[in-house]
Amino acid sequence: MKTIKGPAIFLAQFIGDQPPFNSLAAICQWASGLGYKGVQLPTLDSRFIDLQKAAESQTYADEVKGIVNAAGLEITELSTHLQGQLVAVNPVYDQLFDGFAPEAYRNSPRARQQWAVQQLKYAAQASKNLGLTAHATFSGALLWPMVYPWPQRPAGLVEAGFAELAKRWTPILNVFDECGVDLCYEVHPGEDLHDGISYEMFLEKVGQHPRACLLYDPSHFVLQCLDYLAYLDIYHERIRMFHVKDAEFNPTGRQGVYGGYQNWTDRAGRFRSPGDGQVDFKAIFSKLAQYDFPGWAVLEWECALKHPEDGARESAKFIKDHIIRVTDKAFDDFAAAGSDAALNRAMLGL
């Protein structure tokens, strides 16, 4: 069995304009000081990593890696969540998602998508140059407006949507395969891949592609009332990344899963800092150890109540305390009688 690596921290929610959150070197020193061992890097802010340059220049990739290593940290994975979202956008969301792309690609869905696809391909090569084996992204969504349909969905719409999604992602998956990197979709409301069944539908359309893997984040399953522990039993062979994020779901007589258009603080389902919500992390870490999860335990901090710096500080210890150092011994070894082939046969009456 493998001991999960960590604790690590996803930097996306902490990047800002004030020190120590405005440069890679400074934010890494901050994270290291809190006890983190790794950082997961978003890829849209060139102050932290120039994705194209990291893909095209091994020297530059080594420089980025060196900055992180100098703080006593490792890069766990890169993230293209926002770019992945733009691989597949239903037209109803065009204006809202334009903000995820550089200004030059806005108001042109085709150009925006082409830019996003190229970003993913850069991410594959950059990950290879950085010595990484997994990458985080979103699937995008062509069908999400029809997730709870009224009026009824036209027959064949879902099949056509997943066929198109697979058509867009298969060439990207092939590039990741060439680079030896698993592409891990964060299964997430708002994406066409938002639960186990939708992931299986996609997997079928991409021919069970070996690089179409998963980022496991239990918080999104709490808010969907999905069994996040059974999910591990079902999909553990495809899970290559893990976000440690907590959530709580407290339905009332006035609202439930859909939240009544309320802000995060007032929703029945809301994200919380690790340990403050309802996720059973002891069971999760046990199952991940049981299934030889090969990756990192990475904090993704999102909380409707707590200050992010407090959440980051507390979560380093929280993750460290939950990581199970796996044993190389059986607890009942002291009672072992040794191995005797003749005795075994005799006990079986042979």
What's the pLDDT tens digit per position in 192-201?
A: 999 999 999 9
Asked if residue 334 has pLDDT above 70, the reply is no
Tokens encoding 138:
């979103």
Mapped onto helix, strand or coil, the DSSP state of residue 212 is: strand
**What is the pLDDT, as a whole number, of residue 206?**
98
Q: Which two tokens stand for residue 274?
A: 């690790």
Sign of CA dihedral 96, 99, 105, 110: negative
Cβ-proximal residues to 198 (8 Å cutoff; 6+ apart), any chain: 187, 192
CA distance 243 to 241: 7
Segment 117-140 mean pLDDT: 98
Residue pointed to by tokens 């036209």? 154
Structure confidence at residue 330 as a pLDDT band (50, 70, 90): confident
User: What backbone torsions phi and psi does residue 100 show, to the nearest 5 degrees?
Assistant: -80, -15
Residue 344: what pLDDT? Answer: 85
Overall average pLDDT of the 42-48 stretch: 97
The angle subtended at Cα 203 by Cα 198 and Cα 208, nearest 5°, is 160
Percent of the chain with pLDDT strictly greater than 90:
93
Is it the case that residue 24 has pLDDT exceeding 70? yes
The residue type of 34 is: L
- Taking the C-alpha atoms of residue 239 and residue 136, their distance in angstroms, rounded to an integer, is 11
Long-range (24+ apart) CB contacts under 8 A made by 334-341 are: none
Is it the case that residue 339 has pLDDT exceeding 80? no
Q: Residue 337's pLDDT is what? A: 66
pTM given for the model: 0.95
For 211, the 3-state DSSP assignment is coil
Work out the mean pLDDT of the chain and round it to a whole number.
Answer: 96
Least confident of 62-66, 173-177, 226-230, 337-341: 337-341
Amino acid at 180: G
- Give the rounded distance of the alpha carbon of 62 from its chain centre: 24
Cα distance between residue 187 and residue 216, in whole Å? 7
- Give the tens place of pLDDT for each residue, 230-281: 999 999 999 999 999 999 999 999 999 999 999 999 999 999 999 999 999 9
